[in-house]
């Protein structure tokens, strides 16, 4: 099951690896459209790796090549000022005059592009676009996506839409990711996992790919000894005997708004 952004990552890799400066000059910023937990952290990591290896940004901040923050559009003035000060803090921490790198901004709380804080953000992006590659993350329900692109003047932006996984696709995703570790599950185990995933999807703690990756790591940890015995098949009984928090002990870290 290919993630919907993998083809974009492959395309960006080809652009970055080109010896032609004109081709490299069209390396885009990103408008990422997805719900939280749809693999955005992995996308940001791979995007940043490509930027570094392809030398897309000259003199990139080696200590802080990627800055990831949530934009406090609903926050007070102190929170907003703290957000905008963060790149400068990273630069000073690396003994640099200005920040150069990738800046992932979670814009999920933004309601209107005419909010004064959002206007300030757009002005910041426009004035730093030559030295920072931006990844702007918005929810699918945000209605200002096209207008946001228009207001980012002269910026080459690749719009990346990531679809959420339903319960059936989630089980397939778990199977494939376990397969990466040479771990298989039998039909009984698959049926039990499917029931557990359906229950999780109905709760408040489900965050799509992010939740699934936690579950996958927990299953791998629980089955580690069994896998080392050259028996990498997980049965239904194995799933039943696993600790409850393999599926329900899910904790997610909140993104910070600034340094």
CATH number at residue 206: 1.10.8
For the cut 50, the answer to whether the pLDDT of residue 252 exceeds it is no
Cβ contacts of 122 within 8 Å, gap of 6 or more: 113, 148, 151, 152
What is the average pLDDT across 244-257? 58
What pLDDT is attached to residue 256? 58
**DSSP helix/strand/coil, 139:** coil
What pLDDT is attached to residue 229? 53
For the cut 60, the answer to whether the pLDDT of residue 91 exceeds it is yes
As for how many domains the chain has, the answer is: 2
pLDDT, tens digit, 9 for 90 and up, residues 126-176: 999 999 999 999 998 899 999 999 999 889 999 998 877 777 888 888 888
More confident position, 191 or 245: 191
pLDDT, tens digit, 9 for 90 and up, residues 188-197: 888 988 888 8
Q: How confident is the model at residue 54 (pLDDT cuts 50, 70, 90)?
A: very high
Q: What b/e sequence results for 12-50 when a residue is b if at least 16 CB atoms lie within 10 Å of its CB, and e otherwise?
A: bbebbeeeeeeeeeebbbbbbbbbbbbbbbbbbebbbbb
Residue 225 shares a structural domain with residue 111: no
Rounded percentage of the chain residues whose pLDDT exceeds 90: 47
What pLDDT is attached to residue 234? 84
Helix 40-53 to helix 6-17 angle, to the nearest 10 degrees?
10
Question: How many angstroms from the chain centroid is the CA of residue 130?
Answer: 23
Q: Mark which of 136, 161, 186 sits at the end of a domain.
A: 161
Residue 114 shares a structural domain with residue 18: yes
What is the average pLDDT across 43-48? 95
Q: What is the CA radius of gyration of the chain?
A: 21
For residues 161 and 33, the answer to whether their CB atoms sit within 8 Å is yes
Q: Which domain holds residue 79?
A: 6-161
For residues 196 and 236, the answer to whether their CB atoms sit within 8 Å is no
Q: What residues are paired with 158 via a beta bridge?
A: 30
What is the average pLDDT across 31-60? 91
In a domain, 86, yes or no: yes
Look up the CATH number of the domain holding residue 84: 3.40.50.300
Q: Kindly report the average pLDDT of the chain as a whole number.
A: 86
For residues 59 and 99, the answer to whether their CB atoms sit within 8 Å is no
> Residue 41: in which H helix or E strand, if any?
helix 40-53
Helices (H), 76-232: 77-93, 116-128, 145-151, 167-179, 187-201, 209-222, 224-228
pLDDT, tens digit, 9 for 90 and up, residues 1-16: 445 688 899 999 999 9
What is the average pLDDT across 105-125? 92
Residue 112 shares a structural domain with residue 172: no
Residue 153 shares a structural domain with residue 26: yes
What is the average pLDDT across 197-224? 80
What is the average pLDDT across 73-94? 90
Rounded percentage of the chain residues whose pLDDT exceeds 70: 88
CA distance 236 to 188: 5
Question: Which tokens sit at 173?
Answer: 């995703």
């Amino acid at each position: 099951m290919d993630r919907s952004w993998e083809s974009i990552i492959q395309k960006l890799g080809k652009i970055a690896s080109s010896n032609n400066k004109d081709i490299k000059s069209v390396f885009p910023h990103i408008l990422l459209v997805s719900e939280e937990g749809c693999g955005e952290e992995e996308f940001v990591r791979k995007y940043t790796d490509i930027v570094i290896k392809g030398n897309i940004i000259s003199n990139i901040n080696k200590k802080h090549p990627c800055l990831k923050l949530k934009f406090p559009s609903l926050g007070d003035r102190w929170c907003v000022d703290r957000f905008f000060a963060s790149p400068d803090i990273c630069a000073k921490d690396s003994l640099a005059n200005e920040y150069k790198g990738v800046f992932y901004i979670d814009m999920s709380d933004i309601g209107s592009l005419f909010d004064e804080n959002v206007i300030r953000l757009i002005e910041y992006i426009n004035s730093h676009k030559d030295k920072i590659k931006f990844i702007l993350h918005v929810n699918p329900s945000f209605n200002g996506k096209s207008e946001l692109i228009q207001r980012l003047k002269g910026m080459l932006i690749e719009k990346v839409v990531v679809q959420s996984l339903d319960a059936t696709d989630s089980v397939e995703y778990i199977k494939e990711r376990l397969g990466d570790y040479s771990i298989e599950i039998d039909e009984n185990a698959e049926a039990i996992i499917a029931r557990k995933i359906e229950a999780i999807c109905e709760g408040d703690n489900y965050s799509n790919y992010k939740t699934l990756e936690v579950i996958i790591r927990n299953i791998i940890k629980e089955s580690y000894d069994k896998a080392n015995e050259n028996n990498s098949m997980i049965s239904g009984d194995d799933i039943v005997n696993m600790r409850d928090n393999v599926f329900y002990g899910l904790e997610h870290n909140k993104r910070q708004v600034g340094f």
